[in-house]
Amino acid sequence: MATPASPGTHTDDAAHTDHAAHIDHTAETEHAAHIDHAAHTDHAAHIDHTAETEHAAHIDHAADIRDVYVPASARAAVERLRADHETHVWWWRLREAVDPADYALLDEVERGRARRFHAARDAAAFTATRAGARRAVAALLGLPAHSVRFGRRICPGCGDSEHGPPAVVRPPVPLAVSLSRTTGCGVLAVRAGDWVGVDVEAYRPLGSDALAETVLTAAERRQLGAVAPGAAREEVFHRAWTRKEAVVKAVGLGLLGMPLNALDVAPGEAGPLTVGHVHEGRTTRWRVEDIPLPGPWSASLARPADAAPGEVRVHAPA
């Protein structure tokens, strides 16, 4: 199914081209379904983790944290997150050019990916997102930023170690992480456990009705049609979009699990709300809420609905 592309958004959540239709509208992409309605040919495109990711680190969080070496500060941080049921969200503005300090924090796999971007702006966005995420996780765990490394968890759909959701693999702590970026903004979500999804989209004018048909359910299209054209309608559409992508990223299966236009997220309603995701006859439920950011962006967070709804702490740029 060919679908439109996303408005400059990328997710750093890993995925597999057979599992999650994902967009790369700059040359590189990363996790669950992503759409760019600025480019007409990209939505369920693909995830670009080819040669550069063949040797990426991975982790199975079923392993007990007590069985591996983890610095005491990191162990304490994870236990605190688990006890408080907190989710932390960081956001940062993206630059036009690569910051050498950001580039220095990347590992060799990430540097290789950064070098493959044709546009300096895209390389800077990728570099700043990865470096920002590393600084944020390091601060959370009480460690120097250079000691943190990202990789992937084992895919929950097929068990492959090359295209699962993102993970903190050094130190090997049981944290769920999700990354997303769009024009001008990168976002990271972290919680103790296995599952979390975050998505951010820059507001763009809506194009043809074909995009709404690709992204929205019939009920959501009716809700959208009841809103006057302009900023209010764009807000409703982007709220729907980011809620859906946050859910499919949290599930870890991308569009293989459930297409966006079958997933109802009631964009006309204020959150938080519970959203059901169906895959192979099994329904999982997710607590979805909108994350307010001080800029022209829509952002949403998804967590397991059966987990205690702890506080969501939003941090300024890391």
Q: Name the H helices within the chain.
A: 72-84, 100-105, 108-115, 120-141, 209-215, 218-225, 231-251
pLDDT band at 62 (very low <50, low <70, confident <90, very high): very low
- Please tell me which residue, 267 or 56, carries the higher pLDDT value: 267
What pLDDT is stored for residue 156 in this prediction? Answer: 81
Q: What is the mean pLDDT of residues 62-90?
A: 85
CA distances 135 to 109, 121, 194, 295, 318, Å, are 18, 21, 21, 22, 6
CA-nearest of 307, 17, 6, 22 to 176 is 307
CA 140, CA 114: separation in Å to the nearest integer?
25
Q: What is the mean pLDDT of residues 273-298?
A: 94
SS3 99: coil
pLDDT band at 12 (very low <50, low <70, confident <90, very high): low
Most confident of 6-15, 164-173, 292-301: 292-301
pTM listed for this prediction: 0.80
Residue 205 has pLDDT above 80, yes or no: yes
pLDDT band at 33 (very low <50, low <70, confident <90, very high): very low
Q: What is the mean pLDDT of residues 61-71?
A: 61
Cis peptide before 166 (omega within 30 of 0): no
pLDDT tens-digit map of 113-126: 999 999 999 999 99
Residue 281 has pLDDT above 70, yes or no: yes
Name the phi and psi angles at 300, rounded to 5: -140, 155
pLDDT band at 211 (very low <50, low <70, confident <90, very high): confident
Q: 177: which strand partners?
A: 190
Q: Residues 185, 93: contact at Cβ < 8 Å?
A: yes
Q: Residues 207, 4: contact at Cβ < 8 Å?
A: yes
What pLDDT is stored for residue 13 in this prediction? Answer: 59
What pLDDT is stored for residue 11 in this prediction? Answer: 60
Q: What is the mean pLDDT of residues 310-317?
A: 90
Residue 61 has pLDDT above 90, yes or no: no
- Please tell me which residue, 252 or 285, carries the higher pLDDT value: 285
The torsion of the CA quartet 245, 61, 49, 100, rounded to 10 degrees, works out to 90
Q: Across all residues in the chain, what is the average pLDDT? A: 81
Looking up tokens 């999804």 gives 197
CA 141, CA 88: separation in Å to the nearest integer?
12
Please state whether beta strands 58-59 and 149-153 pair in parallel, antiparallel, or not at all (unpaired).
parallel
Please report how many Cα atoms fall inside a 13 Å half-sphere around the Cα of residue 51, on the Cβ side.
4
What pLDDT is stored for residue 15 in this prediction? Answer: 38
Q: Is 108 left (phi over 0), alpha (psi -120 to 50) or beta?
A: alpha
Instruction: Give the lowest-confidence range in 19-33, 230-244, 270-284.
Output: 19-33
Q: How many helices (DSSP H) and strands (DSSP E) are in the chain? A: 7, 12
